[in-house]
Structure 1
């Protein structure tokens, strides 16, 4: 079973918020930038930022990339919530 208390010590709010901002800028300001590459860019941005904030370890690199990817999912969930869209089946 996953212990979320254990995972929360690796969660860095600053990294997630920064990734959300970068993703928003890529999506809204650069129309020529393909949306399909945004998660990859955010994974890399999260990796680099978390290494800068938390130190140079493999764990921090992996958790940083995961935070970047999580910010993509958070953006999608928030957008759907605000626009009132539901998942079509």
Structure 2
């Protein structure tokens, strides 16, 4: 199975960065005031910004496509966290 399409639509560095920031928002006691419903929005905006920064550092043109891919990557980090949480809870509960 070829997973090369992931790099076409998702930006792995942005995915990992958003995953870390989302985890920190969820688990740092200082940030408990941030409601869980805002985490996907925060990560989508952060993903779009980080995608623009990474494109700027790579000297590639920044367009709407870059912003959209970054936002989707930020949202994908939220889904990835939820998938891992469900897998860990399912295997830990047995």
TM-score by length of 1: 0.83
Tell me which residue corresponds to 1:54.
55
In the alignment, structure 2 segments of 5+ residues that lack a partner are 57-61
What number of residue pairs does the alignment pair up? 82
Tell me which residue corresponds to 1:63.
69
Tell me which residue corresponds to 2:59.
none
When the two chains are superposed, the root-mean-square deviation of aligned CA atoms in Å is 1.7
Tell me which residue corresponds to 1:27.
26
Q: Is the 8 A contact 2:11 2:69 kept in 1?
A: no
Tell me which residue corresponds to 2:41.
40
Q: CA shift at 1:10, angstroms? A: 3.5
TM-score by length of 2: 0.79
